[in-house]
Amino acid sequence: MPDTRPAACPLDCPDACSLEVTLTDGRVTKLDGAERNPVTAGYICAKVRRFPEAMYGEARVLKPLLRVGPKGEAAFHELSWDKALDLVAERLDETRRRYGGQAILPFYYGGSNGLLSQSTTDARLFRRLGASNLDRTVCAVPTGRAAEGLYGKMAGVSYPDYVHARLIVAWGVNPTVSGIHLMPFIQEARKHGAKLAVIDPRRTRLARRADLHVAPHPGTDLPLALAVVNLLFENGWADEAFLEEQTDGADRLRRAAAEWNPHKAASICRITPLEIEQLARLYAESSPAVIRCGWGLERNRNGGSAAAAVLVLPAVAGKFGVRGGGYTLSNSGAWGLSAEASAGEPKPAVRTVNMNELGKTLAPGAHTPVKALFVYNCNPLATMPEQEKVRKGLEREDLFTVVFDPFLTDTARYADVVLPAATFLERRELVKGYGTSALQLSEAAAAPVGESRTNHEVFAELVRRLGLARPGDAETEDEVLRAIFAPHPEGGRLAADLERAGLAEAGWGTAPVQFVDVFPLTPDRRAHLFPDELDREAPEGLYAYRPDPGDRRHPLALISPSTDKTISSSLGQLRREAVPLRIHPVDAVPRGIADGDRVRVHNDSGEVVCRARIDPDVRAGVVELPKGLWSHNTENGATANALAPDTLTDLGGGACFNDARVQVTRLDGESG
Ligand SMILES: Nc1nc2c(c(=O)[nH]1)N[C@H]1C(S)=C(S)[C@@H](COP(=O)(O)OP(=O)(O)OC[C@H]3O[C@@H](n4cnc5c(=O)[nH]c(N)nc54)[C@H](O)[C@@H]3O)O[C@H]1N2
Ligand SMILES: Nc1nc2c(c(=O)[nH]1)N[C@H]1C(S)=C(S)[C@@H](COP(=O)(O)OP(=O)(O)OC[C@H]3O[C@@H](n4cnc5c(=O)[nH]c(N)nc54)[C@H](O)[C@@H]3O)O[C@H]1N2
Ligand SMILES: [Mo]
């Protein structure tokens, strides 16, 4: 007899869907969207609908594993949990005694975006061990720093309010793939005559439908946005009253933008001045106008300043204060909920490792070597830059690597010990979306597959085995939850709502109007258009464009956006096919590359061997390999990450994936 149970999706996506899980004889046989959440509205993406295939699939790790062959070959023997945990505890303890706690590096990111399974009991363990801190910078840090500096992470325009907009600007974001529950609201607005502008180097499905598609060269959003700011001021389109009453820094911003006339910006962006003028005019003349700012514009050396220059637009043009006007970025900071509140342990004064520099950090001869690496909620070999450096590090014989994951990922193949993790359908999770505004408590819908265990169970057990437990520690998941809610002003109400309905709405309401219902969470509730702290942080100051130094040997910009097949690398085991490089005909022809040809995509960091797909939808000068590929998706096992530099963004030390510059060479005698 099938029965259905509620759950919520904590995977790294803005939408945080409410789910309906169907079980037959205790096994999940169907997963779909629930009606109880109006944004989920009864449907979910095709890839998560396939989650049960992964859950019971052959890449699932069923028991703890111990390496018996060379690193990378995935030759393992099964172990009991008791033996595996003893071994891990012993090796962590030995590492700490011989080399100091900082030789231990916990490595975690977006596997479960939930609040229960990260920065809670794990933080307690690693802090008490004195392990190195991890700066979790691979995503959303440059945009986050900009939003925080300007508006103190004020809550954004909610998806349903997009129906009220007369203009929707999708800037460096691809919601038909990366947050599909925004789409019905965009379509509804369009039905009522709203205009759509898309800023993206690719002609995406969304861009194809847009009234205006501006395709800047990757990494040039900063001059583009500053040129728009400049036109707003110059043409008398700025809302001087709003700037005076609700912001500061407008004069400095105006001066910084003044040098960016449309001609100068257009030549850097490789577009026409007319396109910049059209964008500025459309924005100035439409109200309500909402900007959906994404993450595609942050993954380059100018990413933080670029996001800031986009986020000032509604302030300069006076677009706040009406329903359907303003901006949406990430809402995750707006909750004010911190998983770390439950760790029961302050951050120790130890070194911090920027996760984008994993390869460098693991390199032999590093100043403070890492001797034990503990990976969970993350697949760094597939998702961090400088893949070959990461691989070399993982191959080190003197490195003890634990990978705790539900699946045998590319990273897990290099582990000394693999620990099987329960997936979100097999455990509890406190789920908050970063686009939508529902907080959800998701209970285990199905029994754990094999011997898999939850993050909390495993980290709590390691705390005990290492003799690090203390009275007052949050022992059970209930206690962890209580500790997360305790410091929050509305914690009691949120916990009660979750208890009753499994779902709670944010204190700012489901549909806040910016500068009416919510204000900047800055100390003076004003927007800071040129915040000093960001100006000090950016190497050449905020809004200072750092040009692409140019590399004649590697003239093409490689971007690696999200696709509808995976979430980062999650679910990549279900995508078995060879994945091609997309290249514009203008770049393919002089290289003698025809559709289907075998090619080598290369730079000084690495190379990818795959097929070429001629595609006029990527702009000239740009090639594309998706993010999140597994080694089985290319001929030589390397992915876009092998070509991505580990240089850092201007704000927040973020990843510069889209600063990858490559050459593409046809491999002889192998036509497609
Ligand atoms: N299906 C699916 N959904 C996902 C994910 C996934 O992997 N798959 N990942 C999730 C995660 S972790 C995140 S962070 C979000 C990311 O979601 P998005 O913000 O949509 O980010 P990306 O897919 O990286 O890039 C968005 C768009 O930016 C464009 N782009 C690339 N470089 C530039 C540039 O320099 N300027 C501009 N203006 N545009 C540029 C790309 O062509 C792409 O179409 O999505 C989440 N949702
Ligand atoms: N080339 C390129 N690479 C990129 C990007 C890009 O634009 N270009 N963007 C990046 C972005 S936006 C992001 S957010 C990062 C994400 O990078 P990662 O954080 O590495 O994300 P995933 O690839 O989804 O890997 C998450 C892993 O966690 C595991 N997991 C899931 N749930 C649990 C759990 O409950 N417990 C445990 N122990 N494990 C669990 C999953 O099975 C999966 O293997 O990748 C970045 N990588
Ligand atoms: Mo991300």
CATH number where 619 lies: 2.40.40.20
| Total count of domains within the chain | 4
Domain for residue 337, yes or no?
no
Residues 233 and 304 in one domain: yes
Which residues form ligand 2's pocket by a CB distance below 6 Å?
12, 109-112, 117, 138-139, 299, 376-380, 382-383, 404-407, 409, 421, 423, 455, 560, 567-570, 627-628, 640-641, 644, 657
Residues 529 and 386 in one domain: no
Burial track 70-98 (b if 16+ CB lie within 10 A, e otherwise): ebbebebeebebeebbebbbebbbebbee
Looking at residue 618, its amino acid is V
Residues 372 and 328 in one domain: no
Q: What are phi and psi of 292, to 5 degrees?
A: -90, 105
Domain for residue 591, yes or no?
yes
Residues near ion ligand 3 (CB < 5 Å) are: 139
Residues 311 and 275 in one domain: yes
Instruction: List the residue whose alpha carbon is closest to atom 45 of ligand 2.
Output: 383
Residues 306 and 227 in one domain: yes
What ligand is nearest to the CA atom of residue 61?
Answer: 2
> Could you tell me which of 446, 445, 435, 430 has the C-alpha nearest to residue 503?
430
Q: Is 100 left (phi over 0), alpha (psi -120 to 50) or beta?
A: left
Domain for residue 250, yes or no?
yes
Residues 300 and 358 in one domain: no
Domain for residue 310, yes or no?
yes
CA 179–ligand 3 middle distance (angstroms): 12
Reported as a single tens digit per residue, the pLDDT across 170-226 is 999 999 999 999 999 999 999 999 999 999 999 999 999 999 999 999 999 999 999
Which of residues 16, 32, 55 is at a domain's end?
55
**What residues contact residue 655 under an 8 Å CB cut-off, 6+ apart?**
137, 138, 139, 299, 356, 384, 385, 644, 646, 648, 649
Query: Measured from the CA of 47, which atom of ligand 1 is nearest?
Result: 1
Query: Which residues of the chain, if any, have pLDDT below 50?
Result: 672
Looking at residue 253, its amino acid is L
Looking at residue 578, its amino acid is A
Instruction: List alpha helices for 164-291, DSSP H.
Output: 175-178, 183-191, 205-208, 221-234, 240-246, 250-258, 262-269, 273-285
The single residue listed with the structure tokens 């919601």 is 175
Domain for residue 547, yes or no?
no
Which residues form ligand 1's pocket by a CB distance below 6 Å?
12-13, 110, 139-140, 171-174, 177-179, 199-202, 204, 216, 218-219, 221, 294-297, 300, 559, 561-564, 566-568, 627-628, 658
Residues 311 and 439 in one domain: no
CA 563–ligand 1 middle distance (angstroms): 8
For residue 243, give its domain range. 142-332+512-537
Cα 116 to Cα 131: distance, rounded to the nearest angstrom:
21
Residue 66's DSSP bridge partners are 77, 417
Residue 508: the pLDDT is 65
CA 112–ligand 2 middle distance (angstroms): 8
Residue 149: the pLDDT is 97
Q: Are 361 and 378 in contact (CB under 8 A)?
A: no
What ligand is nearest to the CA atom of residue 218?
Answer: 1
Q: What are phi and psi of 9, to 5 degrees?
A: -90, 115
Query: Measured from the CA of 458, which atom of ligand 2 is nearest?
Result: 38
Residues 170 and 193 in one domain: yes
Output the six-digit token pair for 275. Answer: 């396109």
Residues 81 and 181 in one domain: no
Query: Measured from the CA of 570, which atom of ligand 1 is nearest?
Result: 7
- Measured at the CA of 430, the angle between CA 628 and CA 34, to 5 degrees, comes to 80
**What residues contact residue 390 under an 8 Å CB cut-off, 6+ apart?**
358, 359, 362, 380, 381, 384, 641
Domain for residue 549, yes or no?
no
CA 638–ligand 2 middle distance (angstroms): 17
Q: What distances in angstroms separate CA 198 from CA 206, 212, 288, 663, one per listed residue?
A: 7, 6, 17, 28
* 262: CATH: 3.40.228.10
Cα 358 to Cα 134: distance, rounded to the nearest angstrom:
10
Residues 524 and 492 in one domain: no
Domain for residue 39, yes or no?
yes
Q: Is 240 left (phi over 0), alpha (psi -120 to 50) or beta?
A: alpha
* 82: CATH: 3.40.50.740
Cα 469 to Cα 482: distance, rounded to the nearest angstrom:
18
CA 541–ligand 3 middle distance (angstroms): 25
Instruction: List alpha helices for 505-638, DSSP H.
Output: 532-537, 585-588
Q: Which of 51, 107, 109 to mutate to test the pocket of ligand 2 (most atoms within 8 A of CB)?
A: 109
CA 458–ligand 1 middle distance (angstroms): 33
Q: Are 192 and 244 in contact (CB under 8 A)?
A: no
463 secondary structure, DSSP code:
H
Cα 417 to Cα 372: distance, rounded to the nearest angstrom:
11
Instruction: List the residue whose alpha carbon is closest to atom 44 of ligand 1.
Output: 174
CA 188–ligand 2 middle distance (angstroms): 32
Q: Are 289 and 647 in contact (CB under 8 A)?
A: no
Q: Which of 51, 562, 569, 625 to mutate to test the pocket of ligand 1 (most atoms within 8 A of CB)?
A: 562
Residues 243 and 200 in one domain: yes
Residue 97: which H helix or E strand, with range? helix 81-99
What ligand is nearest to the CA atom of residue 106?
Answer: 2
**What residues contact residue 615 under an 8 Å CB cut-off, 6+ apart?**
582, 583, 584, 624
**What residues contact residue 522 under an 8 Å CB cut-off, 6+ apart?**
151, 152, 528
Residue 672: the pLDDT is 47
Residue 507: the pLDDT is 67
CA 560–ligand 1 middle distance (angstroms): 8
The single residue listed with the structure tokens 């240089």 is 647
What is the torsional sign of CA 168, 173, 176, 178? negative
> Could you tell me which of 172, 260, 269, 273 has the C-alpha nearest to residue 217?
269
Domain for residue 672, yes or no?
no
Residues 522 and 560 in one domain: no
Cα 567 to Cα 126: distance, rounded to the nearest angstrom:
27
CA 138–ligand 2 middle distance (angstroms): 10
